[in-house]
Structure 1
């Protein structure tokens, strides 16, 4: 039995759900409320000492960090391939994915926003300005990258890759926070095409309001 320990609105969990769906891997979902602090329970600490979601139990392993999990899935279930085998193509895909997973997501995930509000005493308005700033910084860079390359169907070519698996959850959450997307037409086009695929639709927690 493959078990995904997750939170529905977690971008990182969303990525892994997409990858599992694309690979056709059946799994059981066990959900934890991050807002209620369930990831800090002793039971979850045994699963992942970092107290973060997702954590995937598969093949007798407990895997954390969504990019590492997806790399394992890509090696274990190579069809469809999400990370190219060609070194140059692989580097391009991984760079796009890490632009999101390292330079956007960690700065605006729930625990950072809660720390700004609860520990640093920042207002919701300031917290939202923080979120908006880092999303726009990241999306601006990605829009430039997408415009500089041929008009592929998806982020790094005409097939889905790890870059799309990271992009769709990030755009989903940006829309939840009412981020204005007009400045990113190419990014939005790529996102819409990927997000409409069944594996992405089935992985989405809810439809964004805008």
Structure 2
């Protein structure tokens, strides 16, 4: 048993981010699945951990923490040598801007509960999910690609070590591929993805490693 417990769902983008961050920090953790499809996140036990009824919730250092980006920033402050955020204020701003382009702009409108509500009021509900995800994931990642073009070429989104930007990007790329979003016009993103896929922390955090058995 680890001293760190992640209340998790295998396909949650936010939980996936925290799994990557923990791996980059070299921290072992126990994963406790909260089944979103069965509504466990709205149950009394989980609401006591996270009053918003979301995943992840992370029990670490004797505290329960929520909100993936805030958790990642905490992990950076506790383990600054890992480099989840860069050393200078300007570079940290650049990484935060990239991270927020995913976590604050793409992810909220592509959350399954948001998409499900949109489908419930759509004029053509059968056509809505694919069109919705292609629109918002595709446009958001195209903007991210342009943001990368403003920086010098590098192995990762900002510099040559993984940062919070990559932690946010990779779960969104997982969703993009799940919904067959066209990424062919995004060479910088694809190069970053290839480098992240080679990294053990990203490999260990992948949803396939946490998918329900059977």
TM range (shorter): over 0.9
Deviation at 1:120, TM superposition (A): 5.6
Q: CA deviation at 1:79?
A: 3.0
Q: Structure 1 residue 19 and structure 2 residue 14: aligned?
A: no
* TM-score, L = length of structure 2: 0.92
Q: Among residues 111, 136, 141, which one is paired with 1:139 in the alignment? A: 141
Q: Does 1:97 align with 2:94?
A: no
Is residue 153–residue 190 contact of structure 1 (8 Å, CA) maintained in 2?
yes
Structure 1 runs not aligned, ≥5 long = none
- Change in 2 beyond 3 A, CA 1:106/1:156: same
- Equivalent residue, structure 2, for 1:150: 152
In 2 relative to 1, CA 122–41 (structure 1 residues): closer, same or farther, beyond 3 Å? farther
Q: Tell me how many residue pairs correspond in the alignment.
A: 207
Instruction: Find the aligned partners of 1:84 and 1:185 in 2 and give their Cα distance.
Output: 24
User: Cα deviation per residue 1:19-55 (whole Å; 9 max; x = unaligned)?
Assistant: 0011111111001111111100011110101000000
Q: CA deviation at 1:81?
A: 1.6
Q: What does 1:162-201 correspond to in 2, within 5 Å?
A: 162-201=164-203
Question: 8 Å contact 1:96–1:163 — kept in the other structure?
Answer: yes
Check conservation: 1:116, 1:122, Cα contact below 8 A. Answer: no
Map 1:80-119 → 2, pairs under 5 A: 80-118=82-120
Which residue is equivalent to 2:61? 59
Per the alignment, residue 37 of structure 2 pairs with 35
| Structure 2: gaps (5+ residues) | 210-214
* TM-score normalised by length of structure 1: 0.94
